[in-house]
Structure formats: C-alpha cells, structure tokens
Chains A and B, each alone.
Chain A
C-alpha cells in the first residue's frame, strides 16, 4: 500500500538535527539509527580482479569486513554500519550476493559477540534492469532484482537499498538540453512511478524476512545533474538547474517511504534533508569524508541532519595508514564522535548550524539544501503530497523562489549565467499545466517522439 505524505514530520526546521530522527530504526546487532547518536557507514568496492569468481569476491569482502571491524574496535568506536554496494555479478547471480552477505555478517557477529560493538549490514543491490539499449524495468529483470533482495535479506543483510533508475532515459536526454518539463517528467513522474513499484516489492521482502527496507536515492538523475554541474568553474550545466533537479528528486525518493521503507535513506541522496523534514525517517549522508569517491560543493553542510555518516565508496587497497577501509572508517568515526559529543554537551544545534553555514553560500545547491530552506521545499511537496507531478513541480518552484531570495539578500552570489538559467526554469515552470493528466499525455507524446530509448511500457503506460 502506498500512503502519500501530506504533512510535515517536524513542526519546525529547527527541530531537525543530526543523530536524531522522528522515527528511529532498529537494525542488525544492537544498533538504533537516528536514536540520539550518529554512526559511521563505511562503503567500499572490491578490487577489479576480485570480481572474477564468487570465491574471490567472498574472500575480498571478508578481508574488507575484518579490516573495518578491527579498526573500529582499535579506536573505540561504539557503532558502525557496513554498506556493500553490489558489483553487477552479485545482483545478477543472487546467490553470490547472498553468500557475500552471509560471510560479512558472520564476521560482524563475531565482533559483536566479543566486543559488544553495535553494527548492521546494508546491502545495496545493483539496479540491473537495463540492457545495452533500453531500460527493462519490468519482467524478468525486475524479478531478478527482487530475488537478489530476498537472497541478501535471508543471508544476513539488515538494511535493504537500491539506487533505482526509473525515468533516467528521459532525464538523460532532457538534462543536456535544459528541458525543464523533461527533467520534471523523468524524475518527478516516471521516477516516482517506478519507485512505488520497486519499493512496494522491497517492503514486502523486508517484512517477510524481518529486515529493514531502508531507502533509495536519486543518484541516477539528481546526482548525474550534480556531477555534470561539477565545480564552480565547470561549464556543463548551471548549478541552479542542478538544484532544481535535486528539489524535484525529493518527491521521487520520498516514494520509498510511502511504499513502506523506513530509512535510513541512502548516503548519496543529497535530497535526504528534505525527505527527513517530511517523513521523519533517519538518513545517511556523505560529504567531506567521501572525497575518496567524488568532489562536491557542500562537504560540511550535509552533516547537518545526518544519522549515518558515509564515505560513499572507496576501492579496497593499501594506504600508509592501513587499508583504505580502515582509513576512511576511522575518519568517519571521528566525525561521528564530534557530533555525538555535541549532542551530549547540549551544543548540537550550534554545531549543526556551523556545518550548514560553512557551505550555505558556497553554491545554490548548498543554499537550498541548508536545513531551513530544505524544510520549505518539504512543505511545498507535502502541500500536494497526493499528486506526484504537482508535488514535484511545487518543489521546483519553491527551489527557484529560495534561490532568488538568497540572491536578493546579497549573501548568495550567482553568475549572470546561473541567474539566467534560473529565470528560464522559472518561466518554464510557470508555463506548465496544473493538471497532472494533461502533463502526462503531453509528455508521453513529446518524449515518445524525441527520445528513441523511451519505452512507455516500462511504466505500464
């Protein structure tokens, strides 16, 4: 059952804080997420050669798990989440994923039994519903995806996630052409529809297996926009457009929780602060301690309301300070320690605001995702929460308003180019219908014609 959010979980933006969520989630071995403390979430990738066989992969993940758990104990970290993002072989052969989950969990149990360290295992299966030419969202590939979830859940994974890709074909086309309607259609409409299907399925599996349907991220779309936008001097996409795509993505990723997921949301969902404001679920975030995986322009800000703090991903290999997973889990653990001290000493809101202010004016993306503004985007979504299209459009409009106010205040400085791009998006949005059925039929006609790889049957259309 999909039950849409039409109100906010928090009465005020100021009530949102790291390490605290309205609806904490118990998972794994003694861990509770969002229950008054933050926990590091370590993510890693096997070395390329390790993917050659099932045995090699399992061995690689055993090394990774042991290394990370050992370092956490050595430095006295009270809790840790391990996230295994599947390489394609692990999802396409569900028993591989299951075997890896089992091997990892066995090691984690030993550490938990011996030291009492609180821990949980997240498995993020790969969205393999794609062949060379087309997305294949339904049918055999969908069944395989679900089977993969079931296998990892039965074999030790505590938290189930995926970075699903619905709507990506229309989005990919639109984002390179400043096509506002297409961005809205790809993320807000098609993406939301696919999310509802995928996450209803995952929620059922979680219920059946006693695991947690954790959450998704709009990596395939909003992060693509963020990466194309790049740093301050890149010129592939206006950062003002990237943040509009992000605001739209909040409605899309929210669909997981409406379909029965409970959090923690996925680390690379930079839309998660918005989602937390509406749903109250705990969230994972990444930023300054995921520079091993990518660069962004809001490294501190993303800590503002996180419950899990992640490094996104690092290849397993040696560093001077140990293996890469040891180094990065240690950095994460010290970040969490600082946040947890702030929580215990009554300074958490000050620290939160310092995180936010460090990046609020660095870029329009950080400006809108600052928790006070993110909350406003949340309200715009909840206002028409029952309608995927309208709430996505509301989020986009509110995002434009927020950026304009920031510019008017003099504190958020934009280039003329970014301002013009914003003006265009705003005009495009104002010209769009308020009738979701009409929007759907207009877009179907347009994108069937313009986007060769768009297959409406993927969405039951």
Chain B
C-alpha cells in the first residue's frame, strides 16, 4: 500500500496530546502532593493507587496509633482523593484511576464507620439522575463518582428516572443541588418538567444539567437550569454552591461559557 514518509506526517496531522504531555510522571506528581504525616501518607498513597486492602491496613494502623476514625475520613481519605482529583483536573491521570480511587475511598469510609458509633458529616447531599426514557447512564455514573470522590453524598436515582421520582427525592433528601443527564433530544424535555414541578412546590435549588444532547441554550430556557459540559463541572458547580450560595444567576455567569 501507499505510505507517508515519517517527515511528512506532521503536515497531515498533529498529535497535540503528545506535544503537550507533562514532563512529570503521574506517580512523581502524586508524590509531591501527599501529606507528609507518616500515618496519613500510606493511606493517601493507597487511595491514589486504588488499593483497597492497603487503604484498610493504613486506616487500621492509624486507628491503633490513636487517630479518630471519623477524623481520618477527612484527614486521610479525602486528602488522598483530593490528590487524585487535582491530578485528573490537570490532565495528568485519567478517569479509570479516579474511579478506582473512589471505590477505594468509599470502602475506607465504610471501614471507618464500623470503627465508631459517630456519624460522619458529608460536604453536602446531591441527587443525580438520568432523564426519563433515557438509558444512557455512563456520563451520570462518572458525574456521581466524581461527586462522591469530592466528598459529597450522592443519592443516585439511576437511569430512565420518572420526573416525579426526582421531585420526591428532592423533597425527601433536601440536597444542595440536583443533576440531570440526557443523551437524547427526545428525553431532555423532562428537565423542563422537573423544573416546573419544583417551582410549583416552591422549591428553588440549582438543577445542573448535562449529557450529550443537552446544551447551554436549552438549559437556559428553564429557571433552575445550570449547564455543565464536563462531568468535572458537576463538582465545580457543587463546590461553587458550597462557597458562594445557590443563586442561579451567579452560577450561570460562572459556568455558562458559550
């Protein structure tokens, strides 16, 4: 078959990802971010590596040394996870690493809970769902995992979720925001219904919407809508609410980029 000469390829296409790759390896970058405390360090590192058994071993050692199990959630598990989130945001590590770390962190939290009768306080509660009639749930799963990884309690209503179930969950859970994912132009209209029913009940909270079919113009059409393009935007929106309050106008100013 015909072929290109090596030197001709750059004129045809550019592998920008290769050109821009960071010098530092992910492990080196993570090493710089771990806390130095010798009881905490192994836990944070085990979170980054996604090694559940090592996480539990580290927690046991720290508890034996007198650390409080509930405090360890924030001081070690969350710290490890924030290393992971930061590296993901910077494009140094990829999503599967985040997912494995999140799994390890959740196991760690469960373990800590078994070590005490106290109940940990999460950063906030968030209800996630995929629009009624829509089974495309991978994006939502990513959103839920990243939110959990950032310390939020996620109430995951799953896919193909009836409008009324979303409303009920919001009334029951009183979350700081709801997220909706839709990948089909035929299903995303459920978001408007959810918006209207919430407002009818006098509930005003940010409704972060995303997913393949959804765009900023559509989301701007209903009062509670805040559009996010990337799964990591869901975390940024939640953090913004925690820090700056839940005013939709402000959120749109910050997150509506188009």
Contact = CB atoms under 8 A, between A and B. Distances in A.
Top 6 nearest A-B pairs by Cβ distance? A353-B2, A236-B95, A178-B96, A232-B17, A48-B186, A362-B13
Nearest to A371: B1
B96 A237 contact: yes
Interface in A198-240: 224, 228, 232-233, 235-238
Interface in B1-27: 1-4, 6, 9, 12-13, 15-18, 20-21, 25-26
B71 interface: no
Given A237-B96, A315-B185, A415 B4 contact: no
Contact of A236 (B13, B21, B142, B185): B142
B124 interface: no
Interface stretch (A136-144, A274-282, A406-414): A406-414
Interface of B: 1-4, 6, 9, 12-13, 15-18, 20-21, 25-26, 88, 91, 93-96, 99-100, 103, 133, 135, 137-138, 141-142, 145, 158-161, 185-186, 189
Nearest to B9: A361
B99 A416 contact: no
Contact of B94 (A132, A238, A315, A361): A238
B15 A237 contact: no
A103 interface: no
Contacts of B20: 233
A386 interface: no
Contact of B3 (A172, A228, A357): A357
A13 B1 CA distance: 9
Given A51-B186, A88-B133, A357-B4, A176 B95 contact: yes
Contact of B1 (A14, A224, A236, A359): A14
B21 A132 contact: no
A359 B15 CA distance: 11
Given A176-B99, A237-B96, A417 B4 contact: no
Given A350-B2, A361-B4, A416-B25, A235 B158 contact: no
Contacts of A410: 6
A132 B96 contact: no
Nearest to A165: B135
Given A48-B189, A176-B99, A358-B12, A414 B4 contact: no
Contact of A176 (B16, B141, B158): B141
A302 B23 CA distance: 34
B15 A232 contact: yes
A133 B4 CA distance: 50
A224 B136 CA distance: 10
A177 B100 contact: yes
Nearest to A176: B99
Contacts of B145: 176
A177 B99 contact: yes
Contact of A414 (B18, B93, B100, B141): B18
Given A132-B161, A414-B15, 8 more contacts: A48-B185, A172-B138, A178-B96, A228-B138, A350-B2, A359-B13, A360-B4, A416-B25
A411 B17 contact: no
B3 A237 contact: no
Nearest to A132: B160
A66 to B, nearest CB: 22
Nearest to B100: A177
Contacts of A175: 96
Contacts of A411: 4, 6, 9
A237 B185 contact: no
A87 B15 CA distance: 38
17 contacts: A14-B1, A45-B185, A175-B96, A176-B138, A177-B103, A178-B96, A233-B16, A233-B91, A235-B91, A350-B2, A357-B2, A360-B4, A411-B9, A413-B15, A416-B25, A417-B94, A421-B94
B88 A235 contact: yes
Given A176-B95, A237-B96, A224 B185 contact: no
